[in-house]
Structure 1
Amino acid sequence: MKHISILIPEGETSLSNIEAAHKMFNKVNEALDRMRKPPMFKIQLVGLSSEAKVSNGLFTIKPDLTLKDNFKTDLIIIPAVHGDPNVVIARNSDFLPWIIKQYKSGAEVCSLCIGAFLLASTGLLKGRSCTTHWLMADDFRKMFPDVNLMPYKIITDEGGVYTSGGAYSSLNLLLYLVEKFSGRDMAITSSKIFEIDIERNSQSLFIIFRGQKDHEDDVIKKAQEFIEHNYPEKITVDSLASMLALSRRHLERRFKKATSNTVVEYMQRVRIEAAKMSLETIRENVNEVMYNVGYTDTKAFRMIFKKITGLSPIEYRNKYSKNAAA
């Protein structure tokens, strides 16, 4: 039987993460019981103390075990904890050596949503791929530059360490683990019970691009603002460099360092974000939207739009347009 430890961190912990993980694996046991088979999982809540205050004291959870108990686990699940990541990590620092010890003894480790900050603090993500909520991607990169962050991913799986994207995409990782441990048929059954799209694998569709300006390079901020105000026009990297009195190479290096995007990628994301807003609210056809955001090549526009959002412009409009819904 596989032992699963769902951590109960101190702070504004995601109760939905805790409940979903507990329920998902228990439902597998219930399904096995109906088939007159033995349970596959023993699921227990693990805290720093025998009584954990979560959500700023609004709720109290009584863990089954604490770190003082002498036990070995097979899978550790770290739920999201909201708030300043540095404060969250400091309040829960006692979990970190325990997670490392269990991992070295053969346990696997899984973080849900921004639980990735706690997981990364153990050092187990160093040099590995990871995802988290796209809203926290810039903060994560700054705190953990040695981790290969992939914020468009729903799931990463590398070396017995798993991470999930933002919010309810954690359900997809839990379903993925059910499939890994219990098989495809059980995963499909679980996906139907919990009504989860088993094939969803990207956060791209949900990302709202607001520009990455949480940096101190004022020259690059000026470049960003110019792009954001003039994106329908033809902007080249050379003309932008000339306007800022920088060499092209120097501009590209500083821009990438400050924003994590190349200049061209940034222009594409600004234009596609404008196109998304138009497709959601305006009755213009796709070609008119394309021209209005600065593209003249239909094939290129559709290719870039799908690369960033995961959908074609028409599919996006059909899914999100107020007029289409009406």
Structure 2
Amino acid sequence: MQQGKNADDFFKVQLVGFRKQIRLDGGSCIIEVDKTIAEVEYTDLIIVPAIWGDVMRGTQLNRHYFSWLINQYKNGAEIASYCVGAFIVAATGLLNGKRCATHWAYTNELLAYYPEIKLVPEKIITEQNGIYSSGGGTSYWNLLLYLLEKFTSRKVVIAATKYFLLDLARNSQSEFVMFKGQKEHGDKLVEKVQLYIENNYQEKINIERLATDFSVVRRTLERRFSKATKNTIAEYIQRTKIEVAKKEIEKDRKTINEIMYELDYADKKAFKDLFLKITGLTPIEYKRKYVRN
């Protein structure tokens, strides 16, 4: 891509590591870095990559970078994380009180370990006080385009999107989320209630009756449920129903109205608004996008 300037005129990109040579998969993959963190006195921008596998184990294996990231940020550097690289930035404490996005499949885990952050799971990109984060998978491209525009110009970004066939308009990962509910919280009562909701989503579930059936005071149940799942019971019921609706729409065996009625929704507008709120698309838009004609 030619813009009248070489890429080096805009950026000097370097791969930085704790050691000169990073060995992965038992040494089957070796990465040679340009500089070690000890050799970097100052930089404008640091991009923290994603972690593969067990994210908390990966975070601890990268603990050598924590103090370096903190010091660089204090010295004026900006920090961007890709996907679950947010776990590393969160571990430094730099995300406390700040908005953050990550891969939708890891939102519950991130919030469980770092409750001080302001998680916005639907976002593709967040920016606050010189710290950026992005959602999962290909949202890395959206983050790069966002940074490219900030440090160069809109003209350069548009040229890049055309050259690499990238979608500049995408700003939410809500439609990609597959809701499974957080079940690794250890509260057996809450887990039983979750399973009941998931197995009886077609019914009109009354929270008072739910508390009675599980022999617990409603206020206690609601408090424990919210603490464990990061959703109220009403929100959990709604998200469960919409997840079912998405799967039924993808099958393309029933009309949207049939799916709505089977999920105990009688108000078309209410169902449409709820679907839009959770997925970022209306039911018709979702069908157009995911059902092959």
> Same fold by TM (over 0.5)?
yes
**2:174 corresponds to which residue?**
204
Q: For structure 1, which segment, 155-164 or 209-218, has the greater mean C-alpha deviation from structure 2 after superposition?
A: 209-218
Q: SS where residue 42 of structure 1 aligns? A: coil
Q: CA deviation at 1:277?
A: 0.8
**2:109 corresponds to which residue?**
139
1:172 to 142, 152, 156: 142
Residues 70 and 212 of structure 1, relative CA distance in 2, 3 Å threshold = closer
**2:183 corresponds to which residue?**
213
Q: State how far apart, in whole Å, the 2-side matches of 1:204 and 1:275 are.
A: 15
1:32–1:38 contact (8 Å) kept in structure 2:
no
Q: CA deviation at 1:87?
A: 2.2
* 1:78 matches 2:51: no
**1:261 corresponds to which residue?**
231
Q: State how far apart, in whole Å, the 2-side matches of 1:247 and 1:176 are.
A: 48
Q: For structure 1, which segment, 56-65 or 212-221, has the greater mean C-alpha deviation from structure 2 after superposition?
A: 56-65
Q: SS where residue 88 of structure 2 aligns? A: helix
* 1:155 matches 2:125: yes
Q: CA deviation at 1:84?
A: 2.0
* Equivalences for residues 90-109 of structure 1 within 5 A: 90-109=60-79
Residues 306 and 174 of structure 1, relative CA distance in 2, 3 Å threshold = same
User: Which runs of at least 4 in structure 1 moved beyond 3 Å after TM superposition?
Assistant: 54-58
5+ long unaligned stretches in structure 1: 1-26
Q: CA deviation at 1:38?
A: 7.4
Q: SS where residue 160 of structure 2 aligns? A: helix
Q: State how far apart, in whole Å, the 2-side matches of 1:169 and 1:258 are.
A: 28
Paired AA for residue 87 in structure 2: F
Q: SS where residue 231 of structure 2 aligns? A: coil
Provide the identity percentage.
Answer: 46
C-alpha RMSD of matched pairs (Å): 1.6
Deviations 1:229-259 (A, max 9, x none): 1111111222212222223222211110111
Matched residue count: 293
Residues 68 and 210 of structure 1, relative CA distance in 2, 3 Å threshold = same
Q: State how far apart, in whole Å, the 1-side matches of 2:89 and 2:26 are.
A: 22
Q: State how far apart, in whole Å, the 2-side matches of 1:294 and 1:227 are.
A: 13
**1:193 corresponds to which residue?**
163
Residues 152 and 70 of structure 1, relative CA distance in 2, 3 Å threshold = closer
Residues 234 and 65 of structure 1, relative CA distance in 2, 3 Å threshold = same
1:89 to 59, 78, 91: 59
1:232–1:293 contact (8 Å) kept in structure 2:
yes
**1:282 corresponds to which residue?**
252
Residues 263 and 69 of structure 1, relative CA distance in 2, 3 Å threshold = same
Paired AA for residue 217 in structure 2: S
